[in-house]
Structures are given as structure tokens and as C-alpha cells.
């Protein structure tokens, strides 16, 4: 069973159309929840760290939030340059980073 | 500039050959990692190293080997025992073990011909 589950697998938005990406994680022993952005053919780039329920982090049009069961990446008024795959990852217990399969976001002008 | 460098960017391997992927970092990070990414899949952990001269198997270590003789370097060898090696390989580092903020290289795309 996957420890980190992301939905949807793919999302297509019009420019300016806000939406949210979901990440469900292993509830027990969570030490951190992380969001990364990956452009095609490149390595992931770190975006945010969340440690406890209720925490929020923002960067430009992106805001990451954490509840007791899941995390959301909210994208407000997206632009075409926000098109990428967004990866969620967790550290729980003494494990290294465990990644979800990602959400592939396309923003159409 | 500090960063993590993988080479080569593209690599072709014949059946039965071993190949080595290079990963070097000048960030003075203790921990280093190798992940494999297949189309439409997330990142799967091959090997990781918490500190120099130490490494552990990840979820899919069969057919791979690593070494960590220097803090800066964590090469990955894909052996002939790896039956399906065609994939995108990513190396990463973090300042300490257990830190979720990882820095990734640009990846090596390995193709078996």
C-alpha cells in the first residue's frame, strides 16, 4: 500500500483558474511533509516543508496546507509557467523521503 | 555555485554490461540518495547514505551497487543483474539524515540498447 497518495494524477486548468492538489500521507509518526516541483527531464526542486496540522506556507501563487490526514497545494490564478509535476513526500519514523506519484499540472493560456 | 552534479545526462548500455552513474555534491551535505523514476511513476529509493563510508539499501536495491568513500561522491553502478534498467536516475543530497529538504541533480537517463 502506498504511503503517500496524490490526486488527481493529472489536472488541466485555464490560466487564472484556481484549484488544489491533494496528498494523503501516513498518519502515524509523521516527521515532515514536503512539496516539490519537477519540470520535464529535470530533477525535483524543493518548495515547502510542513510539520504540524494547521501549518501553512506560501510562495507566489502556491500555498501548502496540512491537516491531520492530508496536505493540499493550492494554486491561485495559475499561469502557464506553473505547468509541471508536483510531488508530495513524507518522512515518518526513521525512513528517508518517500514520494507520491505526483500530479501533472497543465495550465493553458 | 554550490550544487549537485550528475553525469552523464544520457547513457546507453548494452545487454550484460555494468555502467556507473556519477553523482558529486559540493554542498557539504552528509546524506545522499539515489532514486529511480519510471514514466508516470514517483521516485523509488534505490540506495541511501547517511554519512561517508556508510550506505543502506532502499526499496529497489537489487541489481544496483554504490560506494561512499568521499563525502562529496556517491556513484551508482547498474549491474547486469538489473533486468529492467531503462529509467531516469536521480541523485539527491540533504544536509543531514532525516532532513526532508533535498537537493536533486539534473538526472541521468539510462537506456538499454
Q: Which residue of A has its CA nearest to B57?
A: A96
- Contact of A15 with chain B, judged by CB distance below 8 Å, is answered with no
Per-residue pLDDT averaged across B76-100, rounded?
93
Query: Residue B82 — φ and ψ, nearest 5°?
Result: -80, 110
User: Cα separation of B93 and B34, whole Å?
Assistant: 9
The pLDDT > 70 percentage for chain B reads 99
Q: Which residue of A has its CA nearest to B45?
A: A98
Sequence-distant (≥ 6) Cβ neighbours of residue B94 within 8 angstroms: B29, B30, B31, B33, B100, B101, B102, B103
With 60 as the cut, is the pLDDT of residue A26 above it? yes
Q: Quick one: pLDDT band at residue A2, thresholds 50, 70, 90?
A: low
User: Cα separation of B28 and B11, whole Å?
Assistant: 27
Per-residue pLDDT averaged across B2-28, rounded?
93
Mean pLDDT of chain B: 94
- Contact of B39 with chain A, judged by CB distance below 8 Å, is answered with no
Contact state of A34 with B100 under an 8 Å Cβ cutoff: yes
Burial class of residue A105 (count of CB atoms within 10 Å of its CB; 0-12, 13-18, 19+): buried
Mutation target vs B (from A2, A43, A57; most B CBs, 10 A cutoff): A43
Q: Quick one: pLDDT band at residue B52, thresholds 50, 70, 90?
A: very high
Contact state of A46 with B43 under an 8 Å Cβ cutoff: no
User: Cα separation of B83 and A92, whole Å?
Assistant: 31
Could you tell me how many CB contacts below 8 A there are between chain A and chain B?
Answer: 54
pLDDT of res. A3 = 82
CB of B100 within 8 A of CB of B94?
Answer: yes
pLDDT of res. A107 = 98
Per-residue pLDDT averaged across A44-58, rounded?
96
Spatial CA neighbour of A88 closest among B40, B103, B42, B1 = B42
Q: Quick one: pLDDT band at residue A70, thresholds 50, 70, 90?
A: very high
Q: Are strands B108-112 and B10-13 parallel, antiparallel or unpaired?
A: parallel
Amino acid at each position: 500500500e502506498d504511503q503517500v497518495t496524490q490526486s488527481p494524477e493529472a489536472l488541466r486548468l485555464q490560466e487564472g483558474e484556481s484549484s488544489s492538489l491533494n496528498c494523503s500521507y501516513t498518519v502515524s509518526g509523521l516527521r515532515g511533509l514536503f512539496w516539490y516541483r519537477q519540470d520535464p527531464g529535470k530533477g525535483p526542486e524543493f518548495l515547502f516543508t510542513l510539520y504540524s496540522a494547521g501549518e501553512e506556507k506560501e510562495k507566489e501563487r502556491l500555498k501548502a496546507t496540512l491537516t491531520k490526514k492530508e496536505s493540499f497545494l493550492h494554486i491561485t490564478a495559475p499561469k502557464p509557467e506553473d505547468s509541471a509535476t508536483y510531488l508530495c513526500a513524507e518522512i515518518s519514523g526513521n525512513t528517508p523521503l518517500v514520494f507520491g506519484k505526483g500530479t501533472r499540472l497543465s495550465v493553458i493560456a | 555555485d554550490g550544487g549537485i552534479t550528475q553525469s552523464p545526462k544520457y547513457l546507453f548500455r548494452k545487454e550484460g554490461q555494468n555502467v556507473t552513474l556519477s553523482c558529486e555534491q559540493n554542498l557539504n551535505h552528509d546524506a545522499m540518495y539515489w532514486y529511480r523514476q519510471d514514466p508516470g511513476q514517483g521516485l523509488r529509493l534505490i540506495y541511501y547514505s547517511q554519512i561517508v563510508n556508510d550506505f543502506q539499501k532502499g526499496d529497489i536495491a537489487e541489481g544496483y551497487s554504490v560506494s561512499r568513500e568521499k563525502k562529496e561522491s556517491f556513484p551508482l553502478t547498474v549491474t547486469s543483474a538489473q533486468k529492467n534498467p531503462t529509467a531516469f536516475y536521480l541523485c539527491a543530497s540533504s544536509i543531514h539524515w532525516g532532513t526532508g529538504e533535498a537537493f536533486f541533480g539534473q538526472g541521468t537517463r539510462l537506456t538499454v540498447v
